[in-house]
């Protein structure tokens, strides 16, 4: 993607919702002979610059896949490093996010998460609830299949209780039971590090998203990288299955 194309993307209307699978922190560190923790810290630096860049580009909703439900299976010391970085990000960046008009919303299951992290998440969501410049959605302890199963269970319970008739179950009704209720589906999903799969991320919501896979590891991802991905998005014709 040329610089001219990336610049052109910034002149067009930004996608309403961009979602990013932030992949490659560990491989970035391994290639440099560094500990995994260094890769994750550089990944946090990338989060900061991309959140700022997305707001400046006029992206209304930015979702970052920060920690999947499957990531608990990683080595205990790595999981603790990741939890520590989440604590640092919320504690250090919340004031600036709030000052810049960013609303924070965290999707994912909170059961089993450390109480202090849950408290920080709730504080961030409460303080920024009225902000309208951009919504930053952090997918933490999140899995798309589990999200769908839980939504189906709630709908089944509503039918059983007589609050909902089976024939009233529609796609909008189902979407209203997902963790992303009230957030538009992503227009563009970006994955870094060269891998080409969704890895259980927004699998209902991304049904008609444009997918862009980039070779850069997440610590290398910059605002220019984001603009290049948006340029690819603008180069495509979105038909939503119409032909």
Q: Which residues of the chain have pLDDT under 70?
A: 1-11, 240-243
- Can you say whether residue 101 is alpha, beta or left, with left for phi > 0 and alpha for psi between -120 and 50 degrees? left
**Helices marked H in 161-195:** 171-175
User: Two tokens at 214?
Assistant: 């980039």
Strands 17-21 and 61-68: parallel
Say what the pLDDT of residue 98 is.
97
What is the pLDDT at residue 10? 47
User: What would the two tokens of residue 230 be?
Assistant: 């948006």
User: Which superfamily is assigned to 3-234 in CATH?
Assistant: Decaprenyl diphosphate synthase-like (3.40.1180.10)
* DSSP code for 240: T
For 18-31, the pLDDT digits (tens) are 999 999 999 999 99
Show which residues are catalytic.
23, 71
* pLDDT score at 8: 44
Structure tokens at 174: 């189902």
Q: What residue segments make up the domains of the chain, in order of their start? A: 3-234
The pLDDT of residue 6 is 43
Give the Cα separation of 9 and 2 in Å (integer): 11
Supply the pTM of this predicted model.
0.91
Which residues have C-beta within 8 Å of that of residue 229, sequence separation ≥ 6? Answer: 1, 188, 190, 212, 214
């Amino acid at each position: 993607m040329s610089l001219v194309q990336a610049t052109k993307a910034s002149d067009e209307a930004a996608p309403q919702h961009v979602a990013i699978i932030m992949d490659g922190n560990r491989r970035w560190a391994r290639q440099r002979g560094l500990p995994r923790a260094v890769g994750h810290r550089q990944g946090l630096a990338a989060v900061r610059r991309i959140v700022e860049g997305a707001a400046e580009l006029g992206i209304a909703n930015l979702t970052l896949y920060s920690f999947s439900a499957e990531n608990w299976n990683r080595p205990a010391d790595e999981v603790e490093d990741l939890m520590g970085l989440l604590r640092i990000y919320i504690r250090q960046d919340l004031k600036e996010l709030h000052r810049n008009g960013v609303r924070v919303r965290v999707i994912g299951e909170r059961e089993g998460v450390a109480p202090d992290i849950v408290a920080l998440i709730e504080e961030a969501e409460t303080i920024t609830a009225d902000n309208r410049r951009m919504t930053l959605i952090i997918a933490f302890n999140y899995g798309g299949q589990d999200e769908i199963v839980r939504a189906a269970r709630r709908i089944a319970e509503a039918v059983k209780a007589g609050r909902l008739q089976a024939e009233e179950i529609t796609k909008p009704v189902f979407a209203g039971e997902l963790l992303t209720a009230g957030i538009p589906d992503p227009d563009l999903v970006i994955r870094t590090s060269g891998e080409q799969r969704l890895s259980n991320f927004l699998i209902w919501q991304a049904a008609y998203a444009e997918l862009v896979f980039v070779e850069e590891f997440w610590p290398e991802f910059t605002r220019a990288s984001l603009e290049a991905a948006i340029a690819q998005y603008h180069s495509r014709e979105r038909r939503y299955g119409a032909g």
